[in-house]
Chains A and B, each alone.
Chain A
Amino acid sequence: MSDFYQTGNIITLHKLGKPSLERIESELKEFAKQRPIALALPALYTDFTSDAMKGIINELKKAGYIREIVLNLGRASDTEFNQARDFMRQIPYDVKIIHNEGKRIKEVYATLERNGLWAGEDGKGRAAWLAYGYILARGVSDIIALHDCDIATYSREMLARLVYPVANPNIDVVFCKGFYSRVTDRMHGRVTRLLITPLVRSLEKIVGYHPFLVFLDSFRYPLAGEFCMITDLARTNRIPWDWGLEVGVLAEVYRNYSSRRVCQVDIADTYEHKHQPLSPEDASKGLAKMCVDICKSIFRTLAGEGIVFSDNFFKSLEVAYLRLAEDTLVKYEADAAINCLTFDRHEEAKAVESFTNAIKKAAEVYMGNPLTTPLIPNWNRVTSAIPGILEMLKIAVDEDNKI
């Protein structure tokens, strides 16, 4: 059970006691009549072979307030696409699958590229962006929720709680992010615990008060992949295609909306999904790559806010971060002890070391070329360059989904 402390300058919705799922779902059904809800699912074909996906589908079957599901399927052959489609038929409402490797979608990407609009490399960012595009093209839904397809502890309560703040017209919220604790016999979520929070706080130490840093620090789990938003946001927000997706989305929300209209909601008591290897020796893969991308995204956003970065700044940042991360590590050790959790201090210290290197690497890349941006253009920009692109995307997906 959560406390009821309001963190930072966004709204925090806690899970207090045992709220009735039936009541939330019945209210959502009513809200959805006025503002239909779409669910975007970025997935790989390999997800379909996991138990997690089977669990997600079983739960989604019962979520009657969802108007449409748009699943963007990556790395799948035509046969695998058909298998995924057969699998998704269990869901009794409108389900469309985007065949990312299909000839039609490839041509949509080619159309973008020849008009100077690059949709980025294959990944969750691009998958989410394309799913939003299809939802916009259909023009049916007013609200879009998104979550990963590798959640082993998925329950439909998670989705209901995620969607509720945006769907409820009495809560004036345009963006809602989920939070949870990732605990099994130990604490997970190293990047959030040991990189983002200490990094943001050390930046606050050096830069001083900055609304974006306060905004970012307000999120209890800024890297949570589960969020819900109004459809307009999908039209105006730019999405990073790299690992900086979650932080980049928050930066765009910060840029476009007041933090009064942003919330985070406790969606699960515990959360378990695929774990990334640390790979400290290679900064181009695993958690190391993810950390570099996240740091770059934060630096770029701050630079956009007028913060001046220099080599000396980064030197101070590395020292400040290291010290703060070590202090944080001690806090988590105590937290683990009182909760009877396993805590491998050496592994955690190695992670901090690896994250320090990631900050250094991100700083080098940023100083090398501060203008490089992994952001996919927003749909408003895309449709102004190619007026028929959404129609094209709709035809491509609809044709792929024809029996």
Chain B
Amino acid sequence: MENFIEMLSQPLKEFWTGLVSFVPGFTAMFIIIAGGILISYLAKALFVKGLKAANFDSLCDRLGITAVIRKGDVWERPVELFGHIIYWFLIIIFVMIGLNALQIQTIDNLIAQFFVYLPRAFSALLILVIGYVIAGFLSRAILIAAVNNGYHYAKVLAEAVRLLLIVLILAMALEQLQVAPGIVVAAFSIIFSGIVLAIAIAFGVGGIDAAKKIIEKGSDEKKEDKGRDIEHI
């Protein structure tokens, strides 16, 4: 009978011991997350206020970042959107820290991986933003230069350059995120070299006569120049 009671009470005792050791961790997690929500909210409010003071919305409009956001059918103001991103980013960090308080091995590993991955995600984001701005700038510069030189396909050329740069930027970002890096590099190399080869062939085959004329013209001019040189006796 005693054995039977022992058999019944043992799991309950173990459960109780587990519960007693779990509750402080859980309470700590709860406090960290609750505090984190509050801090995230305050940080978001502060961040939004700062961005508004810096006229960030207008800057995004002029740099074309707003247009990119709208492509995803997101119609919030850039300041609010970035505020939300910051808010949820901080919430995720606080949830991770909170989960850490539970002292569970699997979660600890996950959190360690998360924090290692964080700088990569940040640099990938930075690559995307800066890359997009540079692509837009170069595309516009090419468009203006091509239009001023009277090229009929100026817009197509500018769009092609922009597309190529965006492919390059995406590959860089994905490589940074370590998303199937081998495949990304291989795919990028194939696509990029394919495009370059296509352009080279198009120019090469289509421009044989033009190139010939340019070379011939160049050598004729040289000959003429030689002819015009003053020769001293």
Q: Show the binding face of A for B, using Cβ within 8 Å.
A: 103-104, 107, 110-111, 114-115, 385-389, 391-392, 395-396, 399
Contacts and interface: CB of A to CB of B under 8 A. Distances in A.
B75 A111 contact: no
Contact of A395 (B62, B70, B77): B70
Given A115-B62, A387-B62, A110 B77 contact: yes
A386 B67 CA distance: 9
Contacts of A396: 70, 75
Nearest to B136: A387
B61 A104 contact: no
B84 interface: no
Contacts of B140: 387
B66 A114 contact: no
Contacts of A111: 57, 61, 66
Interface of B: 57-58, 61-62, 64, 66-68, 70-71, 73, 75, 77, 136, 140
18 contacts: A103-B75, A115-B61, A385-B62, A386-B61, A387-B67, A387-B136, A387-B140, A388-B61, A388-B66, A388-B68, A388-B70, A389-B61, A391-B67, A391-B71, A392-B66, A392-B67, A395-B70, A396-B70
Given A115-B58, A392-B70, A395-B70, A387 B64 contact: yes
B44 to A, nearest CB: 20
A389 B60 CA distance: 12
A123 B67 CA distance: 26
B75 A107 contact: yes
A236 B66 CA distance: 24
Given A107-B77, A388-B68, A388-B70, 8 more contacts: A385-B62, A387-B140, A389-B67, A391-B71, A392-B66, A392-B70, A395-B71, A396-B70
A103 B77 CA distance: 12
A104 B62 contact: no
B73 A386 contact: no
B70 to A, nearest CB: 5
Nearest to B75: A107
A388 B77 contact: no
A114 B61 contact: yes
A142 B98 CA distance: 61
A254 to B, nearest CB: 29
Nearest to B68: A388
A198 B75 CA distance: 50
Closest 7 CB pairs of A and B: A388-B67, A388-B64, A107-B75, A386-B61, A391-B67, A392-B70, A395-B70
Contacts of B57: 111, 114
B208 to A, nearest CB: 33
